[in-house]
Structure 1
Amino acid sequence: MMVLRSLCALTVMLALSACGGVAARHNVRSNLVEKAGWQSGILKAGRFDIAASWSPVQRGENLFVYLEGDGLAYVNAYRPAKDPTPDDPVALRMAINDIHATGASAQPVLYLARPCQYTLPDDGANCNRKYWTIGRYAPEITDSISNAIDQIKQRVGARHIVLVGYSGGGALAVLLAGQRADIAGIITVVGNLDLAYWTKRDGLTPLSASTDPVTMAPDLGDTPQLHLAGGQDDAVGPDVTRAYTQALPASSLANMLVFDHYDHQCCWAQDWQKISQRPEFSRIPYWHGK
């Protein structure tokens, strides 16, 4: 039972809320993208195919990249999903509500799903259930996401990248910042940032094929960071975020905000424009145009 819990503890809550089949989950993204006037495509990004959506802005020095959460990893506490596409792409909704996506000074905004989300059955190279269970933060996943970012960065002519990661996407944002030199800042929302602490807290077997984001903390002291947590979040929780921030150097450029009445899903996307205009976001370079 402990092994099973280790595979699904973070994502089973989202999985149990899924109410439609794969086609319905794909349609949620398609409808959101179409309504926003965005475009979508599949990026051949190294080992994996990555589903991407992007705002209409074609060029810009600053690229704001949103990374999706773990998605529908499990159909119940015992059985991994055949397709990890989320039933509600929270990071996509946040991206569409990004304050940089529209207006006279709009900059490119990019949404990246996780490997195997929105790609099966027609694409989805190297999709293996390992990559949405014990290996959801594996090095090869980080490399593939980084490859996808490179492609769009070159396309739009960007110089600076700001990463916004929701849930498991927050973990990947930290991992990416640990290996790239062009990350201007990191924003995580209910991010699972310390796997060792989380698994120990809940008595879980570690995600053995994943890299723990907290191992990057000693090298990210100079990277501006803002980490948002929900006071009602019982999937990750503020203590996991705090365990990561405490591993940062004492001089780090990181800040943590706890939203007392928010949980793991509500109400980050619907309130994102209001949240992201708070003064604390000025700590992230280029967020407010600087």
Structure 2
Amino acid sequence: MVVALSLSACSSVKIRREDAFALIKDANWQSGVLNAGNFDLLGAWPISPPSGANGSADLTIYIEGDGLAFSRPNRPSQNPTPTDAIALKMAIAHQGAGAVAYLGRPCQYVLDAHLRNCDQSYWTNRRYAPEVISSASYAIDQLKERSRAKNITLVGYSGGGSLAVLLAAKRTDVTEIITVAANLDLGYWVARDHFAPLTGSLDPADFATDVAQIPQIHLTGEKDTVIGTDVVQAFLAKMPPGHHAHLIEYRGFSHNCCWAEQWRSIELSLKNRP
């Protein structure tokens, strides 16, 4: 029975990985594994950059969510590869000027040879550990060098939004942050839902002051029962006066729906904001 369950899990990871790589191929993108400190991270980008993006000063990087952290309540999954690559779909739908790239999280999508340091804690309680932030920052340096960009916009879905804030607090080249359904105040979130504390993780809310002067937009879904608008409001409440952060709640949207499906129109509406 244990062998059967293990084989089933492996098959599920293979399917999830194949689905993501099919999206990359169909979009005329390419992918590569980035050796980034403690972890090997999946990166992806267009084979043919958008018109005018070669040597652009601007690079938009989409950061994936936490993925399949738990297979059931209180039972960590064997592999965090997402069942739905929402941030990847958003990246592929990106219509903005400049270069674009996608960044996966530790242990997502990569094969056995690149699963070093893949302890379950890195998709459960230590999902935002300092070494995770450092690894993502190394990968961003590589994506930035590839596109010859100077400035970075970070777009993070769910836990990827938490990572975006933590990265922006550590870097000097992030000129905009956009988060989507992100758990930006871990202390508030775990207390509200009676979760175990994310011991070993950094809390984006502790860095609210550090990122306050970076232009940022935080998108939430009215029907999101996983994170919810109140979590982002708790984060914004820790911002000092004169901060540059804005909250937009989308009616009818949940945690998963309908960010990827409507990203092109959402992105356009954000660009046309006064």
Matched residue, 2:4: none
Matched residue, 2:143: 152
The letter for the 2-side match of 1:82 is Q
Residue 103 (structure 2) pairs with residue 107 (structure 1):
no
Paired residues of 1:226 and 1:281 also in contact (CA < 8 A): no
Matched residue, 2:205: 214
Paired residues of 1:68 and 1:89 also in contact (CA < 8 A): yes
Paired residues of 1:83 and 1:116 also in contact (CA < 8 A): yes
Residue 108 (structure 2) pairs with residue 81 (structure 1):
no
1:129 to 115, 120, 124: 120
* 1:227-242 equivalent positions in 2, closer than 5 A: 227-242=218-233
* Distance of 1:52 and 1:259 partners within structure 2: 29
Matched residue, 2:5: none
Matched residue, 1:264: 255
* Distance of 1:97 and 1:38 partners within structure 2: 12
Query: Which residues of structure 1 form unaligned runs of 5+?
Result: 1-17, 101-105, 284-290
Matched residue, 2:179: 188
Residue 243 (structure 2) pairs with residue 247 (structure 1):
no
* Distance of 1:210 and 1:132 partners within structure 2: 10
Pick closer, same or farther for the CA change 1:141–1:53 going to 2, 3 Å. Answer: same
Query: Which residues of structure 2 form unaligned runs of 5+?
Result: 1-8
Pick closer, same or farther for the CA change 1:279–1:121 going to 2, 3 Å. Answer: closer
2:268 to 242, 260, 277: 277
CA RMSD of aligned residues (A): 1.5
Structure 1 SS opposite 2:170? coil
Q: Taking structure 2 as the reference length, what is the TM-score of the superposition?
A: 0.92
How far off its partner does 1:120 sit?
A: 3.2
Count residues with an aligned counterpart: 260
Segments of 4+ moved more than 3 angstroms: 279-283
How far off its partner does 1:59 sit?
A: 3.2
How far off its partner does 1:155 sit?
A: 1.7
How far off its partner does 1:200 sit?
A: 1.3
| Overall identity of the aligned pairs, in % | 45
Q: Taking structure 1 as the reference length, what is the TM-score of the superposition?
A: 0.87
* Distance of 1:125 and 1:197 partners within structure 2: 32
Residue 160 (structure 2) pairs with residue 161 (structure 1):
no
The letter for the 2-side match of 1:142 is I
Matched residue, 1:66: 62
Paired residues of 1:138 and 1:209 also in contact (CA < 8 A): yes
The letter for the 1-side match of 2:259 is W
How far off its partner does 1:281 sit?
A: 6.3
